[in-house]
Structure 1
Amino acid sequence: MIPDLLRSLTPQVVTALVRRYGDFDACEDAVQEALLAASQQWPSAMPDNPKGWLITTASRRRIEQLRSETARQRREAAVALAEPPDPAPVAVDDTLTLLLLCCHPSLSRPSQVALTLRAVGGLTTAEIARAFLVPEATIGQRISRAKRSLRGERFVASGSPDRVLEVLYLIFTEGHTASSGDAVNRVELTTEAIRLTRQLRASLPEDGEVTGLLALMLLTDARRPARVSSSGELVPLASQDRSLWNREFIAEGIALITGALSSSPIGPYQLQAAIAAVHDEAASTETTDWAQILTLYDLLRVVAPGPMVTVNRVVALAQVAGPEAGLAELAAASSDPALAAHHRVDAVRAHLLELSGDVTGAREAYLAAAERTLSVPEQGYLRSRAAALAEA
């Protein structure tokens, strides 16, 4: 309970300090020290006003920092030595403000992701490094550079909600389908992305795309219990035991996307959520409404065209018009440089060749896809498909 409370209060406390003192880097460090003190003291003595306690404790730490700084900073220290900010909670949710600052356009995408997970999500540097399978020092450097870049930003959050959504979706996607390593997914990332998106929606309840992204995450994560076999192998959608899917997430996701589509301008996250809803409502691959999915991909290709949209639409087209139609579309799409060497193209080609009866071609394509992916579970699945065709 206390860790969850600390995570939910972190963005509000960071925002309060940065608004008063500026210097994101120093304020975030002061808040981290306050969080550490709270984790040690609260189990035996929970304060009546947890947020006010954190703000006061972090403010005192920031004041101590200012007192020890050089003469050039004495004027700032004099201002900071005034009474600590009113610890009474405010009605405004500062999560959006802090998310916007963490997604400032001056920062690189990796820095935006790392800073968001650290400052808003409350993850430690070590936790972020483990989730992305990179050295802790690398994540530490990204966070340090990001905070230095924001040193002059006195909470003029110049990011945009669209950029925040992109960062949150990137975090979720890396968690749902790990791009490298031994794991199929990284639950800590999907869980954190969903939590942060829920907080964002609390700040922007009328934004259809925020609601659409939350629905997409829930509808996608609902399948997670069936995506990995008991031996740790990747299980594709068509072979999953749908009784294992999280029905609570599915019901919530469908309700969210139904409401958003009926009340907001249509956007790419809403369309992707609608596609996920069609999959989740079907009892099997055979009973899936592929014609509706193809129509939704046609809309998505107009609203937000992209290489993965093209490839996923090919799969839907093959289900509606046959594998030959899908192969022809895939051949045309492969001329896109963004797709030329992507393992997903080879994997889809292999699947369609298998459906068309070209066993040799399918086996070669499965092996080519396995060579190109960095995900160990994906490699294992693709090679197992090739091996099965060799024995056929």
Structure 2
Amino acid sequence: MSVVFYAEPPVDGAVGPELGAWTVHLNPGEDAGPWHLHGYQVGQLAQAPGFASVARELRSALEGRTLLLHQAAHTWGFITQEYARAKRAAQRSRRGKSKNRPPKTIPTPVPAAIIDTLTTARMQAVDCYDFRLRAIAERYAEQPGQFGGLLKVPAAALPEVHAEASHARAAIPADTLLEADARLIPALHRAQLRAREAGHGEIAELVPADLVPDRFGLARSAVRVDAAGAPRPLLNPGVVPEGGPLVEGMEFVVSPDVATDPDELIARGVAAGLVYSEKLNRSSSLVVCNTSHELRGKAMHAHRKSIPLLSDTDFLALLADVRPGQPAIADAKNQRAYRPTPSTSREPNRRSNRGKKPAKKSAEPNAAQPRRSRRRRRRGSSRG
């Protein structure tokens, strides 16, 4: 983990002076994944401390600051999940101890704001199939193109290193490459600010208080998580016909490649009677995606499954006239009216008790006594 601190950037748009950097190795407690992805050997991480040992220092580094993250749903989701796991471990270690001792609290840091450079690049319609940090940065740095020359990569961010794997990249120490990527994120953010001034799109700024973990552990907005688990009282009429109209109960999916805020699309779609789904499946009625570049991700799979693709502007226009749907009770055998939650969807396993004889209740008046005392009493009566 690497954190780089910067001062407030000046007015001309250049990255402010660097105040310091903090890099620490953490032991994940399990397999850290392929070595070629992060560059750390198993022995290096096995001797490193756990997350709980640096939780307080990390909180002081992130509390009340503006965080610049690339792919914030994964990064911030990982940080919040680690803090939750550290809290559970501290509570387990306190069991059986004196209740007068104060509990070990490890509060989760609350930043002032979180800016996601990957979501910003998607909102600015950057034509890049690769979503890795250096691949996105190259689109803002290269001269020919829509965003050509907006990014000036500093020397500390290693501008000669590319996203593709190479022998030169493998020869760089893992800590040096990790700190270089941390220094590249603020430079990319300043380039995206220049792109916004040129009218290419907005900046994806997230409010930490509105982010909650979804069932995959990703940090999503509460609007998105609540919409994915909302009840489904209407039947799904199928895919949307060409040109509309939309019908209540249709299931829609929002691709990351949209210029409008995804939370706004989800909230307005659910308010109009549609059903939001986080995952794409064959029951999906449409996918909201701006197809200004090569299809990827959800849009690519939807095109293969013949699911219609609608741009964000067309989707918002069709929401003005949504036809009423049919209640799901009329076809309750084929489709559930409500989506089961993980806590209520699991029914008790009745097969586990099949073939087992019910426990017999003891008719002895002293059945509650220990077995050893009853055995001794029987021996004494037989001897007499």
Q: Shorter-chain TM-score category?
A: under 0.3
Determine which structure has greater relative contact order: mean sequence separation of CA pairs < 8 Å that are 6+ residues apart, divided by chain length.
2
Give 1 or 2: higher strand fraction: 2
* Greater radius of gyration (CA): 2
Q: What is the TM-score with the length of structure 2 in the denominator?
A: 0.27
Q: What is the TM-score with the length of structure 1 in the denominator?
A: 0.26
Give 1 or 2: higher helix fraction: 1
